[in-house]
Amino acid sequence: MRARVLVKPKAGILDPQGQAVERALPALGFTGVRNVHVGRLIELDVEDPDRLPEMCERLLTNPLIEDYEIVETEPVTS
């Protein structure tokens, strides 16, 4: 299975990257954008999807500062 792990900063933790994006957008003429957060995307093929949560807890994320979500996705064609 091809899976995506979406990792984002935990709510309440200062996210300067999100803020930087939010500040930069109006200058380029993009208004009406709020609550920007920047996190990480990890895509991978796993043989045993049941082990994904454990992988996330142990390596892919730091649960103290990040939340994550696992999403199934299309296999890559190659």
- Please tell me whether residue 36 binds its own copies under the rule CB under 8 A: yes
Per CB under 8 A, the list member of 45, 50, 59, 74 interacting with other proteins is: 59
Instruction: Give me the 8-47 binding string for other proteins, x by CB under 8 A, dash otherwise.
Output: -xxxxxxxxx--xx--x--xx---------x-x-------
Contact assessment for residue 52 and residue 70, using Cβ atoms and an 8 Å cutoff: yes
16 binds, options other proteins, its own copies, none, Cβ within 5 to 8 A by partner type: other proteins
> What b/e readout covers 40-63, taking b as 16+ CB neighbours within 10 angstroms?
eebeeeeeeeeebeebbeeebbee
Rounded distance between C-alpha atoms, residue 70 and residue 51, angstroms:
11
Contact assessment for residue 28 and residue 34, using Cβ atoms and an 8 Å cutoff: no
- Please tell me whether residue 72 binds its own copies under the rule CB under 8 A: no
Point out which residues bind its own copies (CB under 8 A): 2, 4, 6-8, 11, 18, 21-22, 24-25, 28, 30-48, 51, 54-55, 58-60, 76, 78
